[in-house]
Structure formats: structure tokens, C-alpha cells
Amino acid sequence: MFNIEELIKKIKSYNPLANFDLIRKSFDYGFNAHKGQYRASGEIYFTHPVEVANIVIDLKLDEATIITALLHDTVEDTDSSLNQLERVFGKEISQLVDGVTKLTNLELSSLETKHAENFRKLFMAMSKDLRVLLIKLADRLHNMRTIKALPINKQIRKSKETMEIFAPLAGRMGMQFMREELEDLSFRVLNSEARNSIIRRFITLRKETDDLVPKIIDDIQQQLKKENINARVTGREKKPYSIWRKMQYKKEGFTRLSDIFAFRIVTKNEIDAYIAMGSVHRRWRAVPGKFKDYISHPKSNGYRSIHTTVSGRDGKRVEVQIRTDEMDEVAESGVAAHWSYRDGERVKNPFVVDPFKWLRGLSDGFIKSDNPSEFFEHVKLEMFQDQVFCFTPKGEVIKLPRGATPIDFAYAIHTRIGDSCVGSMVDGQRVPLWTKLKNGQSVSIIRSEAQKPQSSWENMVYTGRAKTAIRRKLREEKRKENIRIGKEIARVSFEKVGKKVTDKALQTAAKKLVINNVDDLLASLGSVELTGDELIKTLYPKKITGLTIQNFGERKLSFVGLEPNQQANTASCCKPVPGERIVGIAQKQKGIIIHAIDCDNLQNLDNNSRNWLDLSWPNGDVQNSHPTSLTISMYNGVGVLGRICSLIGERGANITNIDFVDRKPDFYSIIIEIHVKDLKHLSDIMTSVEADSDIAVVVRTREVLETSSNQNPRILSNY
């Protein structure tokens, strides 16, 4: 375990003006507070806060962050309180410890809503002071380094959480060294066999090539000397998880990967970086499509570097990263460089991104989202994905995650542009909206104010911003549609009892039904959460007399051909109506079920002729309402649906449900459930609807069900 003087020595190397008395005091306080406590490995517990502080010190962070690292578990695991910490160490320290404690109490390993809400709380805590997350990441890194002491089920849970949340967060913050180590430590637990296989292949490769890394470093250094460039050159094999991920993504074996080695050239200034790039390309052949200039187009977390892949010694492909000292500091520490010290003063690195600006860019309006799951999805998408850089026609750079489409591009510019997108041009060529964009492409969005987001778009887009905007707009459009349908259902329902629908009547009904307002009432009618009969019964209970509309399914009726007082139920599969020839089937458990003679389901029923009864409909108006369904293909135009509902209502039929089964930009297919008097009534309605110029097809829908002992009923056909 580090003693305090070893920590002090490391701190003095970059911040000799730190308050070392207060740091020593926090060390003693933490040691005494955790006295008698041990980790799962059997070590003294205080070794953990010391190692967390050591990671923070490696980042060259300020004394407040170091002290918080030493004290971060005192409130959670000891008798210490925040008030006590504030009295001894001040308000800043107590607030930082409180923030870390709250993050420790959040469970982030699931996608359920409650965990999505906790994830949002994490971002809210980060927004107050990002150092809280830096300490939490250091805490997680040390816990992952010592995870083998935990039971295997806890190892798996913590590793999944690390891979899903903390490693991407570290990467998104620009802390690449931490991301790579967190990923590899998690990989060791989650897929140790794959990791060990890659390590064995590296060992074999070293034997076969006599360890290429130092040889290639020497080759690069010799080439740079010819250009009189003073630079630091380092090289390494890539981490096993990085290799495994590329193998999965490219569907290639280990030996076919082109960049399992990574080399870095760190120059004094930007000019030398570009000269070094040219020198490397003159010495070795550059691999086409493997060049990225993040100096001229930095990543949103401040990362700047030139990436190129070349065919190096013995034809081995190697990746070379070229950047300046200041860029390298940001590449390693990310936003943590904002708090870094050198020679006792805060480092003023021109490439460090304002961490709070970075955070706002990451969450961008989702901190206050009403839907935690959408927020969670958005942030995960933004964290996990590498970025591509595309241009607007005016030359503005738009940053998007890899896999983004022109619709994502449109929403990244403005929600209004996304909502009205009808097409796209990429590098002057018309392309489908689902096209995946590539680095450097110029994208132009074709718009129409008449356009609205389509439900299919949700499967085309990649960014959380676009997904959320599309879902919000679809919900708004669905509500408007339900309100339009609800108005028509209300009108027809009022006319049935000789009344005229008015705002006053609807307001009264909404109040009695405890519904917020008239629009909500109409939306409930349109979505069939509320029926027209229920609305009328609320206002005019005496107007609803006799037999009311029943649910589709079995209804007890008396038919000609039955014994006296014997009743039968109509079948839900074919929904027979008066005027159709019918047959009764006697079933032991269900009694007598009436089917239309052409019902396809009859072939699956009892073949015993004694159970088949030749029946007919009773004379007279025994029941004036019989359920049936129509499938209608109609033009997607303003007022078409309302006009169809009016036609049905004018012919004395009641609409009980409307279901949109297929939505296209130009045509809708709907199943509309109605109640009719008889077959002639149904035929008149179908003729009237089919005569409308905006109707393509009208067919009666039979839901012919097939059942078995192992399956639920399913729709076989419509006719």
C-alpha cells in the first residue's frame, strides 16, 4: 500500500504548491475511519481509496479531487457524516464526496425504466461537477483491477455494467487509456476464452516476427531524423478487446486484421505533425481509405490527431497516430485535462474542451426529458458510437455517430428540417433515406412542408435526437388522428339519439367521466378507449334503452330449428349476420355455436353429423345490431377518414373500432368494426363506401381462426 509520503512525492512533481497539510490530514482521517474494515480480497480496506487517489494523481488533478478520492467511501461505509467532512475539510470537499456517494448508490446495469431514471440522475450529478465522475471512474477502474476477489455472479454483473456504461463514458470523455483498460478488464471476465486466444496469438506472432514493435519504432525514428523532426515515437500491440471487436465487426480472423499494432508520433507543434505524416507516407505505402485528420476536424470531446495506416516492415500493416504534445495530453486525459496542473498552476491547454459544454452537448435537452428510457437510449447511442463528419451545402460540419443516415443529418441541423425531409442528395447524387453516411460526404436535404415523419423512419435513424423527435411527432399525429375520428364518432352517436353534438355537451361529458378536457375525450373515442354508447349514456342515460351494443364474440340468440327455450351463441370467427345461411355446431363445453355456412373454420370442427344443426335466423327484428368488420384501403388525404365514418353513420350503422393495419405515405389500410342489421344493410354500406373516389378496396373481413392445443388462435385469411 502507498504511504502518504509516496503520494505527496508524486503530487509535488506536478503541483508543488498544493496544500500538503490538508492532503495528509485527509489521508489520516480516511485511514482511521476505515480502520477494521477489509476488502473481499482480505486487504485492508483503505488500500482502495489510496489506489483511487493514485489514479487521480496520475491524471495530475487538483488537491480537492485527490482529497475526495481518499475520502470518497467514508460517508457510505463509515460513521462519518457530510456535516463532519464540511467542518474538517470545507464545503467543496463535502459536496464532491456527497456526489460520489450518490453515484455509488445508483444501480446502472439494467435497461429498465427505474435504472434509466438513475442514469439520468448520474448525468445531473455530473452537470454540477464533472470531477465527481472522474473519481467514480477511478473508483471503478481499481475495483475492476481487483474484481477476481468477488463471487463470479458479481464479477459478471459489474463487468457488464462497466462495459455498458463506464467504459463508453470514459471514451466519450476522451480518456482513452481508461476506456481501453476498463474494456479489457471486463472482457477478461465476460469472455476469458476469447481474450486468452488473442493473447496466445500475439505470443505466437512475436516468436514468428522476432517482436516487430521495437523494429518499427526504430524505422520511424530513422525516417523522422531525415526530415530533422524532433518527436517522441512509441508503439504497442492493441488491447485484446480492441482486436476482438474488430474481428467481430469485420468478420475476419486474427491473421487478416490490418492494424493490430499502433504507433504514435508526438511532435512539438502542428507543422511538424503534418511534415511527419508526409515523411511516413513517403517511406511506406499508405493504405487507401485508412486516413483520418482529426486535427482539422476534432472530435467533440477535444480529441485531435492524424490517423493513417501504412504497409510497414515486411508488409505488415500498422496504424500510426501523429499529434502534438498538447494534443496527446488531451487524447490521454480527455476532459480531465481541464483540471490538470503543471508546476503548481492549472494547465492552459488550448485543445481542452470545456467539460460543461461537452456535457450539454452529450445530453442536449434530455436531462429534462419526460421519458427516462428515451434519454437512456439517446445517451448510450451517443457514447458508444465513433463519429463521422459530413458537410452541409454551405460547408458547415455536422458530427454524427457511425451508421447515421440522411434523416439523422436532417434532425442534427434542426427538428423542423428532419420533420419535413422527403429525400436527400449525397455528393450530388440522390440516395435513399436509409443510406449510411461516410466521412467527408456533402449532404443536402430535400424538404416539403407537407411531409410528416413516417413510422418506418424510426428503424432508419441512429441518433437519439432523431429517434426522440420522430416518436414525439408520431405521438402528436396519432393524437390528432384520434381526435378527428373521435369527433366523427361523437357526431354519429349524438345523432342516433336525436341530439346535436356541442362543445358544451362534450365539456360536460368530460367532467363527468373525469377526463381532463374535450380533446382528451375525443382522443379516447378515436382510440376506442371510450365508446360512443358510453358517451351518450353519460349525458342521456334514458336514451339508451333495450339491447345495447355488445362485444364481438359469442351472443346468446334464439334461432329457428332449436328446441323450445334452447339458445345458441354466434361464432366470433365468421361473425354471421341475418340473411346469411347458417349452421349450428353442438359442442360439449361451449354448447351450440352458430357459424356462417361458408366459414373456413367448419372444416376443423366435429365431423359427427349428429352435432350439426340446420338452422335459420328468427323472423322479425329480434336483434337490430350484429357485429362485422370491413377492410378498407383508402387514400391518405385530409378528411377522407371522416367522410367514410359519416357515410357509415348516415346509413344507420355504428362504428365500434378502427384499427390501422398498414400505413403508407399515400394509402392507409384500416379494419373498421361496425354493427349492422343484416346482410342487405351491410351490402348497402359497402356499396356506398366503395363509391367514394378516394377508396381503392372495400372487403368484408372474416377473422377465420385456427386453433390447436399448442397454439393461440391466429388470423388465417380475409375474404
Per-residue model confidence as pLDDT tens digits over 607-634: 665 677 878 887 765 556 788 899 998 8
77 is catalytic: yes
Residue type present at position 419: D
Q: What pLDDT does residue 445 have?
A: 93
Which of 77, 377, 458, 684 is labelled catalytic?
Answer: 77
CATH 2.60.98.20 fits 385-462, yes or no: no
Confidence of residue 386 (pLDDT cuts 50, 70, 90): low
Q: What pLDDT does residue 128 have?
A: 66
Which of 76, 112, 211, 476 is labelled catalytic?
Answer: 76
Q: Is 690's pLDDT higher than 60? A: yes
Confidence of residue 332 (pLDDT cuts 50, 70, 90): confident
Question: 265 - beta bridge partners?
Answer: 233, 322
Q: What pLDDT does residue 85 have?
A: 93
Could you tell me which CATH class the domain 206-334 is placed in?
Answer: alpha beta
Residues 462-501: tens digit of each pLDDT: 887 888 888 888 888 888 888 888 888 888 788 777 788 8
Give the Cα separation of 667 and 387 in Å (integer): 37
Does this model's pTM top 0.75?
A: no
Confidence of residue 581 (pLDDT cuts 50, 70, 90): confident
Cβ contact 531:627 at 8 Å: no
Confidence of residue 692 (pLDDT cuts 50, 70, 90): confident
Kindly state the average pLDDT of the residues 386-395.
77
Q: What pLDDT does residue 117 have?
A: 56
Residue ranges of domains in the chain: 4-193, 206-334, 385-462, 483-542, 556-615
Positive or negative, the CA dihedral 568, 574, 579, 583 is negative
Residues 63-73: tens digit of each pLDDT: 999 999 999 99
Q: What pLDDT does residue 379 have?
A: 56
Residues 526-570: tens digit of each pLDDT: 877 787 778 888 887 766 543 333 333 445 566 777 777 677 788
What is the secondary structure of 536-598 as a DSSP string? HHHH-GGG--SSPP--SS--EE--BTSPTT--EEE-TTT---TTS-EEEEEETTTEEEEEETT
Residues 396-424: tens digit of each pLDDT: 778 788 789 999 999 989 989 999 999 99
Residues 201-248: tens digit of each pLDDT: 878 877 776 777 888 899 899 999 988 999 999 988 888 888 888 777
Query: What nine digits make up the cell of 191?
Result: 469472455
Q: Which CATH entry fits the domain spanning 4-193: 1.10.10.10, 1.10.3720.10, 1.10.3210.10, 3.30.565.10? A: 1.10.3210.10
Mean pLDDT of the chain: 80
Give the Cα separation of 551 and 572 in Å (integer): 10
Residues 162-171: tens digit of each pLDDT: 887 788 888 8
Confidence of residue 696 (pLDDT cuts 50, 70, 90): confident
